């Protein structure tokens, strides 16, 4: 009898331990990089990890902001000078992503972004002539990174907005790892990093915003990876004639991207890549995005495309991580390899 009771009791105690020993949770939020950021970490080093992460986020904003006059990007756009190696590396990465996506992602789009000024108080619908005069300034071949400096062709400007948050999330991942964080979430306005698993060992539930309404389009169950969504549904302006101009400019036309997609979510273990790709795939549109996904060889990524005609197109790698959202009424399609 006692032989039976002993394992029973020890099993009971074990259950108690797992139930009561919930790891410590720390949470912080901040406004940076023109967005609202929320960081959550679990475990002993959680507080330190978040302090460290917040400091790094502010440092990176200092370097990568376009509007701060002491930033590296400002220096690059205004005639050069020495910049931080981090900035040079990030510019080099941006050029690589631009080449990979055949220019669908391009940081030299800045002059056209300024022309349209869609995010500003005074958006402006430019004439074709204005656009044509600026389009030649767009192209990654107009950037020359050179060790400690980055030089641009005359009249050109860069905006790292399409990649800075992704890069920042990569850095936060490193910080979490250094502090031994095994569970946490980082949301940098459309850029999400989920660290490890939830404290209960289950994957994180990452809900994808429904671009057509206030709810969620679907939920992805993810473990230790990045998810980045790009879409034109949040930042746009409506012209007097009712035309809606969303904020992502197509580098090929100089116009706001005429995408048949409402949003693109890219899931992959590289935050910078996920950020750049999500923008590029949105600009490409459904067909080209799927072709681009198919052409990825040894280093594939996963994606969720939400189309304007009410479909969710999902890569097969997410099949087991995809939860339908009944009230969102999208038709869900899975691609095949």
Partner 1 sequence: MKSNSSPVKTRPTPWDALVVTAVVLLGVLTALLFYTPKSHTDGPLTCVVSVGGEVVDRAPLASFAGEHTYSHNGYTLTIRASGSQVEVLNSDCPGQDCVHSGSISRAGQSLICLPAQVVIHLESGAGGPDVIVG
Q: Does 63 bind partner 1 (CB under 8 A)?
A: no
**Residues 246/233, Cβ–Cβ less than 8 Å:** yes
What distances in angstroms separate CA 92 from CA 28, 150, 180, one per listed residue? 31, 9, 30
Among the listed ranges 85-93, 108-116, 122-130, 199-207, the one in contact with partner 1 (CB under 8 A) is 199-207
Segments in 25-140 forming alpha helices (H): 46-64, 72-77, 85-100, 110-116, 128-134
Residues sharing a CB contact under 8 Å with residue 237, sequence separation 6 or more, in sequence order: 118, 123, 244, 245
Report in angstroms how near the CB of residue 198 gets to partner 1 at its nearest. Answer: 7
The answer to whether 258 touches 236, Cβ cutoff 8 Å, is no
Q: Which two tokens stand for residue 319?
A: 């099949």
Comparing CB distances to partner 1, the nearer of 216 and 255 is 216
Please choose, out of 5-13, 72-80, 157-165, 250-258, the segment that lies near partner 1 by the rule CB under 8 A. Answer: 5-13
Strand partners, 27: 40
Among 80, 123, 139, 211, binds partner 1 (CB under 8 A): 211
Backbone angles phi, psi at 106, to 5 degrees: -155, 120
Contact code string over 307-326 relative to partner 1, x by CB under 8 A: ----------------xxxx
Place of tokens 């409506």: 238
Asked whether position 303 contacts partner 1 by CB under 8 A, the answer is no
Under the criterion CB under 8 A, does residue 215 sit at the interface with partner 1? Answer: yes
Distance between CA 185 and CA 204 in Å, rounded?
8
- In the window 179-198, what residues touch partner 1 (CB under 8 A)? 185, 187, 190-192, 194, 198
Pick between residue 94 and residue 304 the one whose CB is nearest to partner 1: 304
Instruction: Count the residues of the shown chain that bind partner 1, applying the rule CB under 8 A.
Output: 41
Per-residue interface string for the shown chain with partner 1, residues 7-26, x marking contact by CB under 8 A = -xx--x--xx--x-------
Asked whether the beta carbons of 108 and 139 are under 8 A apart, the reply is yes
5/129 with CB nearer partner 1: 5
User: Residue 174 CB, nearest distance to partner 1 (Å)?
Assistant: 19
Give the integer Cα–Cα distance in Å for 235 and 217. Answer: 18
> Is there binding between residue 204 and partner 1 (CB under 8 A)?
yes
- Cα–Cα distances (Å) from 228 to 71, 178, 189, 245, in that order, read 25, 23, 9, 22
Return the number of the residue (15 or 177) whose C-beta is nearest partner 1. Answer: 15
Helix 85-100, helix 164-178: angle, nearest 10: 120
Q: Does 268 bind partner 1 (CB under 8 A)?
A: no
Closest CB 6 distance from partner 1, rounded Å: 11
- How many Cα neighbours within 13 Å face the side chain of 7? 3
Q: What track of x and - describes contact with partner 1 for positions 225 through 264 (by CB under 8 A)? A: --xxx-x--x----------------------------x-
Residues of this chain that interact with partner 1 (CB under 8 A) are: 1, 4-5, 8-9, 12, 15-16, 19, 38, 185, 187, 190-192, 194, 198, 204-211, 215-217, 219, 227-229, 231, 234, 263, 265, 323-327
């Amino acid at each position: 009898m006692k032989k039976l009771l002993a394992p029973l009791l020890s099993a009971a105690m074990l259950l108690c331990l797992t139930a009561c020993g919930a790891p410590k949770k720390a949470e912080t939020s901040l406004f940076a990089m023109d967005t609202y950021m929320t960081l959550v970490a679990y475990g002993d080093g959680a507080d330190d990890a978040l302090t460290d992460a917040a400091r790094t986020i502010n440092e990176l904003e200092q370097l990568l902001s376009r509007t701060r006059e002491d930033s590296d990007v400002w220096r690059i756009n205004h005639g050069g000078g020495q910049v931080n190696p981090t900035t040079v590396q990030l510019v080099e990465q941006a050029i690589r992503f631009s080449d990979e996506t055949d220019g669908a992602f391009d940081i030299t789009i800045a002059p056209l972004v300024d022309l349209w000024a869609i995010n500003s108080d005074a958006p402006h619908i430019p004439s074709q002539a204005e656009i044509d005069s600026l389009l030649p300034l767009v192209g990654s071949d107009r950037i020359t990174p050179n060790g400690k400096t980055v030089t641009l062709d005359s009249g050109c400007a860069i905006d790292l907005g399409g990649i800075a948050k992704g890069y920042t999330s990569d850095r936060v991942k490193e910080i979490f790892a250094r502090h031994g964080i095994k569970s946490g979430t980082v949301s940098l306005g459309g850029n999400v990093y989920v660290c490890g698993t939830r404290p209960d060992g289950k994957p994180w539930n990452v809900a994808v915003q429904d671009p057509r309404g206030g709810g969620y389009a679907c939920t992805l169950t993810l473990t230790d990876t990045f998810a980045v969504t790009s879409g034109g549904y949040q930042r746009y302006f409506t012209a007097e004639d009712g035309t809606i101009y969303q904020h992502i400019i197509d580098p090929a036309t100089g116009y706001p991207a005429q995408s048949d997609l409402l949003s693109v979510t890219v899931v992959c273990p590289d935050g910078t890549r996920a950020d750049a790709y999500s923008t590029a795939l949105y600009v490409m549109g459904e067909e080209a995005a799927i072709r681009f996904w198919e052409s990825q060889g040894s280093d594939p990524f996963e994606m969720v495309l939400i189309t304007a005609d009410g479909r969710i197109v999902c890569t097969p790698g997410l099949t087991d991580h995809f939860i339908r959202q009944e009230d969102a009424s999208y038709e869900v399609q899975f691609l095949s390899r």
